[in-house]
Structure formats: C-alpha cells, structure tokens
Amino acid sequence: MKLLLDTHLLLWAAGEPRRLPAAARKLINDARNELLFSAASLWEIVIKRSLGREDFRVDPRLLRRGLIDNGYAELPVSGEHALAVDSLPTLHKDPFDRILVAQSIIESVTLLTTDSLLAGYPGSVRRV
C-alpha cells in the first residue's frame, strides 16, 4: 500500500517516533508499504518554522535528506493536485492539509493522519 504521511506524522516518524500512534508505527514499519512525503509538507514546515512554531523546529533540508535516505519517496505538488483542491468540501481550512487530501485522491494513495477533520474527507484518508 502507498502511504502519504501528513506533516505531523512525518515529523514524528523522522524525529520523535515515540509520539507515533501504534497503528501508524505498524503501517510505517511494514516493509510492504511504500512511504511518501509531500513537497507541501516541506513547504508547511518552512513557513511554520519561520513563524517560530515550536512543533516545526526541524531543519527542512535535513528532514528531506533523511526521509529520502530512509526510503521515502517525494511527491511533488502538480497543477492537477492544486486544481483538485477546488472540488473538496470545506471540512478543513488548512491549505496544506487540503493539498495533501487532493494529492491522496489524485495519486490513489492512502493519507495517514491523526487529524479527525481530515479523516472526514472522501477518498482514502485514514486516521491512526
């Protein structure tokens, strides 16, 4: 199964794995699953880090390199992804989360999240 991790799960998997819910840890550690991260997550980290958010203190360059070195595939944001946001219901106002949902739908991958609002979107969004 292809799994796209939302930004917080990505940060926890890379730097604080003890914070991962058990269900997320099991899916991430299953070698049969292909792990993906979105360029949108890196963009979110850059922006929120520059705003001084405590939960986004990681160096995004080091994070990206570490994810790639550990077998994660990077999912770029395409125009098709951006346009797909327009067809989503407005369950969630965070533009970064909305693009992740659109990517999961367009790419037919499962978006893993701990966010109950995200789990309400159509498609393959899985709350762990």
Predicted model pTM: 0.94
* N- to C-terminal Cα separation, the chain: 15
The backbone torsions φ and ψ at residue 35, rounded to the nearest 5 degrees and listed phi first, read -100, 135
| Spatial distance between the Cα atoms of 27 and 44, rounded to a whole number of angstroms | 24
Q: What is the pLDDT of residues 76-101, one digit of tens each?
A: 999 999 999 999 999 988 999 999 99
CB 67 within 8 A of CB 88: no
CB count within 10 Å of CB 36 equals 23
Q: Which of the four pLDDT bands, split at 50, 70 and 90, describes residue 68?
A: very high
